[in-house]
Amino acid sequence: MAAALGALLAGCGSVSLQSSYRDHEITIDGSYDDWSEIEYVEKLGLSIGVANDDEYVYAIIVVRDNELQRRIFRNGMMLWFDPSGGQTQNLGIHYPMALPIDPSERPTMLRPRPTPEELAEKRKKMLSEYEVIADGGRVRKVSGVSIHDVPGIEVHSGGPNGMSVFEYKIPLRTSDAIPYAIGSSAGASIGVGLVTPEFDPEAMGEQAGLDETTPPGGGIGGGRGRDSYSGRSGDTRTRRGTQPMSMSKPVNVWGILQLSSR
């Protein structure tokens, strides 16, 4: 059901991609249960899928790689859309947002690193917020209560066994009730970008404790069995020392997505 976006993330330049038309309900709840096809991209340590209907684009990003999860939670992640099929940052969904840093709370000789409980609380707050970036402006929705109402857009995160799942629902067209949308329609080709900001070494102070905590969703998944994202059998654990990416190298990839018209 979900179109595989592995080609988008596996290489550089524009790639033609085909979305699948949504044929059953997709609930934006941070779970991959509604997705029958999510392609694992080994080079980046994540899986991604996309679908659409006449009104919305649905996307899911699943990250199993511990280092990449930490980088995303440190610096945030942007999902961009360009209705012209290029790489213009026309509509952006900033989710998750970067872990907030209070310089006064950075560890010093007299101030220890934040506890796992303190970090978990910061993550909880971070995952309850997102930004919509459009027309040069930013609109933030906080903790399920809209400071500025953003109807039509849904985001959610979850993920068991050391995985992080980010799920999105974005309107294709604006209306009187929907002020922010991609600006396209089913059957059209659009540009899609996935961007994580540059790693900021100055942020290491407070956030260093992330290296000693498990990602949201629990401990590292392990054992042997069928990888539900790649369709491969074998050891599904993440091994220290074999991570495919460095936190100092941000993700900044674009591709062309062909939306389905049924």
Q: What is the DSSP annotation of 191-247?
A: EEEEE-PPP-GGGHHHHGGGGGSPPTTSS---SEEE-TTT--EEE-PPPTT--S--T
pLDDT value at position 201?
A: 52
- Cα distance between residue 113 and residue 124, in whole Å: 18
Cβ atoms within 10 Å of 222's Cβ, excluding its own: 12
Each of the 262 residues of the chain gets a pLDDT tens digit; together they read 555 555 565 554 455 677 999 999 999 999 999 998 888 866 666 888 999 999 999 999 999 888 888 889 888 999 999 999 999 999 999 999 887 666 555 656 566 777 778 777 777 777 888 888 887 677 766 545 444 557 899 999 998 778 899 999 999 999 999 989 999 999 999 999 988 877 555 544 444 444 443 445 433 233 333 333 333 333 333 333 334 444 446 788 888 999 999 8
Whether residue 210 contacts residue 119, with contact meaning beta carbons closer than 8 Å, is answered with yes
Q: Which domain holds residue 242?
A: 3-258
Which structure tokens are listed for 219? Answer: 């401990």
Quote the number of domains for the chain.
1
| Residue 96 backbone dihedrals phi, psi, to 5 degrees | -75, 160
Whether residue 98 contacts residue 70, with contact meaning beta carbons closer than 8 Å, is answered with no
- Cα distance between residue 157 and residue 174, in whole Å: 25
Which structure tokens are listed for 4? Answer: 């595989």
CATH of the domain at 123: 2.60.40
- Cα distance between residue 2 and residue 49, in whole Å: 5
- Pairing mode of beta strands 252-258, 189-195: antiparallel
Which residues of the chain form beta strands (DSSP E)? 3-4, 16-18, 20-21, 39-41, 46-52, 56-63, 78-82, 91-94, 129-134, 137-142, 145-146, 154-158, 164-171, 189-195, 224-226, 233-235, 252-258
Whether residue 157 contacts residue 96, with contact meaning beta carbons closer than 8 Å, is answered with yes
- Cα distance between residue 220 and residue 235, in whole Å: 12
pLDDT value at position 203?
A: 47
Closest of 132, 133, 76, 118 to residue 209, by C-alpha: 118
The helix (run of H) or strand (run of E) holding residue 21 is: strand 20-21
- CA dihedral 57→62→68→72, nearest 10 degrees, is 50
Whether residue 55 contacts residue 62, with contact meaning beta carbons closer than 8 Å, is answered with no
Which residue is associated with the tokens 């998944």?
Answer: 221
Which structure tokens are listed for 155? Answer: 């985001």
Contact residues for 39 (Cβ-Cβ < 8 A; gap 6+): 4, 5, 6, 47, 48, 49, 229, 230
